[in-house]
Every structure is written in structure tokens, then in C-alpha cells.
Structure 1
Amino acid sequence: MASNLPLENVWDYPRPPEIEPVQARLRVIFNQIVLADTTRAMRIIETGHPPTYYIPPEDVKQEYLNRNDKTSYCGYKGLASYYDFILPDNQPIVKARIWSYENPTGSDEKYIGVKGYFSFYVGPWDCYVNDEKVEAQPGDFYGGWKTKNIMGKVNAGSGAWIIDYKMTNNPSRYITEQPDTFNTVFALAPQERISNIYECDDRRCGCGSKYTVALTNERIIQRRADSCCGCCSQGYIDSMLFLSDISSISTRVNPTRNGMPLTLTGPFGSEVFTFSRQSFHNALAMIPQAAMPHKISTQPRIVMQTPYSAPPYETKPMKPDYQSAF
């Protein structure tokens, strides 16, 4: 059955993501139990992703939901709480397939529109937009609903990396294999994985610096290559900081001609990492997201033990003198 919704391409969706009301009827049905039925939903659309739908609590049968201990962090909406689906008479429980932002945070208050709303992963229940049964967004991280009108290659979540993020008509190159090398004095460990590489060319008439920053599951690494008149290299400076050591992030260093510096502070001092203006907000969201598992883990830290696949998470612009701390 053809979709009765207008055609939309995920690469035409905005970044930063936008929130908007939904006119369509949404339903979530499990074994003839209608868990949710609404015409008052909101959706969030973001570059490379099918829409994520949020249903008002009044239209969800909350007697089947039980909040668990799982949480996750979004650079825009803050901390999400997760819910198990439960039934009487000892039937199996579906764990952590429903989430909600009980108190969306951040300087951009537009996401307050989904406060207390519930969002459902597709499956094991059936999800419908109008009368169309939706497909799940690939992967096991994101919760987008894909209808037949959604066009474009969709980001798949964990197990994939986004590299060379640029705010263009093709914002990122989707890859499933790691780069062979990253040229700095800080060699990658065998189990270390790069999630993003950022480049900022701050040279003018061949003079100045070019910055290359790699974000991995354990560290953030930068090479600053200096040159003069484009014909003679002035050498390079490599710097590195473990994600587990980051205690604060500041944007108070003045921007350069093309670059936006971030100051990352840890117990052993500060390092400045420079990003292009196009990729700055992406980096500002992804660095805390990558560092968060190192901050909330209750296990002794073993360097490079578990690769972390950082997704292209929701990003948000910050004020020039923004100061954050974990």
C-alpha cells in the first residue's frame, strides 16, 4: 500500500534537529492491546534519521509501563528515562523499549514540547502512522519510525561510524570500516576506534595552521600543522586528552578566522582543540556524549577495553561564553 504522506528525504532534514506537531494518527498495538493512540503527537526530525515520534502521556496506557534504571543522554534534550512493558499473569517483560524526557534541559527551550511524552522503539509491538505499519530505523540505538514516504540512506546506529562531518548537502560519509591510520605521534591502540575526524584549515595565503582532530572511544587527539606561504612546513604540534580526564568544556577562547576552539580541562591541565565553524556544534555535542560512559561507569577503568561507537548524536549551538562541567 502506497503511503498517503508527502515524500521526505532524511538528508533534507535539519541539523540541529527540529520539533514539530504531527497531524497524523499514531498507534502502538501489542497483541490487540492498544498501548498508544493519538492525533496530538510531536516529532523530532534530524539529518540522516527518520522521524522520532513522541506521544502525550494522556494517550498512552501507562498501567503497562514500569520505569527501570536505564538512562541515556542527549546533547539537546538532556537525560532520558526508560520504561519496561509489563503485563499481568507473569507474561514476559519487554525491557527498555520506551523512553521519555521528564525534564528536557538546555538553553534551547523548544524541546520542552516533548516533556513527559513517551517514545516507542518499533517492535515487538506494531507501530502505525495513519494506517501504515512502520519499519524500525536500522541498528539498535535510534528509535526512528520509517514510513514508505521517507527517502534517503538512513543512519544505522551502533556498529557504524560517522566520519568527516560537514554541513553540506551530504553532511557525513557513512562508513563501516575504520581508517587505516591517523597520523600523529599518539598511535591508536589495537582496540581503539575512531568515531569522528574533524578538519579545520585556518591558513590564509598558505600561512597559518591546519587542524585535524580525531575523537575515539578513549581519547581526543589533535594535530596542528603549521606552514608559511604554503611552501615550507613549520612543523606540527600533537596533543591528546583521555575522555575520562575531561572535567569541563569551555568555548571562551576567541574564534580564529575559520576555527572555533574548544578548551577541554582535566586534572593535568587544559588542551585547546580547534574545529571548523561548520563542524563545531557537532563536536560540542559528541565529545560529552563520548565521555559520558567513562563518567558513569562503576567498573574499574581498563584503557581501550570496550570500543565505544559514538553516533552522530543530536547537536545544539552554545552561547559564546558557555561553560559546562561533568
Structure 2
Amino acid sequence: MRHPQRHPVGPGQESVWDYPRPPRVERVDRRAVIVLGGEVIVDTDDVVRVLETSHPPTYYLPIADFVTGALSPGEGTSMCEFKGRARYFDVLGGDAVRPRAAWTYPTPMPGFGDLSGRVAVYAEGMDRCEIGGVVVQPQHGNFYGGWITPDVVGPFKGVPGSMGW
């Protein structure tokens, strides 16, 4: 899919093709809940999201709002040209462990300071991730961490053939 065709936008929806590049960080008035291993590992209304062209929103939650022991330093780092160097966490809940299933930007780049002290979690591998009471679908691909809800339309980067978008 070289040049994706935008999906139609219905009432109450937004298109990821209207999101900016470079990305934008914004606070949202929605509660986020993540369940792993049958346990709620975070339940917070202190939520920001990153919006970037072709990506469903990535939600960042305060590290301090996770239950004790839910986040453990993971292996490796990665680099985002906009947000800076990411550090990974293993996510633990109940008897479940998901290696490198969350990330943070300890020293975010200028313009992304609202990400400081926050973590994003891949929905893939969690029992359930909710935003605003809606169970999310994970963004395709093993690199992207967007959360797909019915109020966001694509097509979304991460599907096969989208590498060149």
C-alpha cells in the first residue's frame, strides 16, 4: 500500500491523517485502566496522548500511578527523532510478565516535557487496556504502541505494507 486512502470520518470520529507531524502532546479527560494477570495495574485519570500522522494515539500515564511492582526496568533503549531516547520496562501483573511492554522518555526533547514521569504501554499482551471506558485494540506491528478505539479512523501505520508511509 504505497499511498493509503483515508477512511471516511463519521460523527464523533477523528482521522489519524489529520494528526500533525511532528507529533503533538495533549492532555485528555479520560480514565485509563490496564489489567494484566487478572489484576488492575493502573487506574488513572491523569492522561496525556501523543498524536502523530498515520498513528492511533499513544497514551502516557504517570509512572507513580501504577501499582507497586507493576513496572520493572527492562532491557534496551530506542530513539525517537521527536521525543528523545526511550527506556523500556517489563510489565508485571498477577503471575504475568510482559518483557519490554512499556516505555518512558526520562529526558524528553523540548516540546515533549509533558511525557516526563510517564509511561506508555503496548496494549498487545495485556489482559485489557481501556481509555474512557472503551476497550482498545492494539496498533499493528511490534514497534508502535497506539491504542485504537472506535472514535479514531485510519488506515493506521503498522499494517503490512505501511513501512514506507
What TM-score range do you get, normalising by the shorter chain?
0.7 to 0.9
The alignment status of 1:21 with 2:27, answered yes or no, reads yes
Structure number having the greater helix percentage: 1
Aligned letter for 2:36?
Answer: F
Q: Distance in 2 between matches of 1:127 and 1:95?
A: 17
- What percent identity do the matched residue pairs reach? 34
Aligned pairs for 1:240-319 (under 5 A) are none
Larger Rg over CA atoms: 1
Match of 2:107 in 1: 103
CA distance in 2, matches of 1:86, 1:44: 24
Q: Is the 8 A contact 2:38 2:93 kept in 1?
A: no
Unpaired runs of at least 5, structure 1: 163-171, 173-326
* Rounded Cα–Cα distance in structure 2 between residues aligned with 1:151 and 1:53: 16
- TM alignment of 1:72-91, pairs within 5 A: 72-86=78-92, 91=95
Runs (4 or more) in structure 1 with deviation over 6 Å come to none
**TM-score relative to the length of structure 1:** 0.45
CA separation in 2, counterparts of 1:139 and 1:15? 20
Residue pairs, 1:49-198, within 5 angstroms: 49-86=55-92, 91=95, 93-105=97-109, 109-125=110-126, 126-156=128-158, 160-162=162-164, 172=165
| Contact map agreement 2:122 2:138 (CA 8 A) in 1 | yes
Count of aligned pairs:
154
TM-score (norm 2): 0.85
Residue 69 of structure 1 deviates from its aligned partner by 2.2
Structure 1 residues 110 and 157: CA distance shift in structure 2, 3 A: farther
Contact preservation (8 Å) 1:142, 1:157: no
Structure with greater strand share of residues: 2
Unpaired runs of 5+ residues, structure 2, are: 1-10
RMSD of aligned C-alpha atoms?
2.0
Change (3 A) 1:92 1:127: closer
Structure scoring higher RCO (CA < 8 A, sep ≥ 6) equals 2
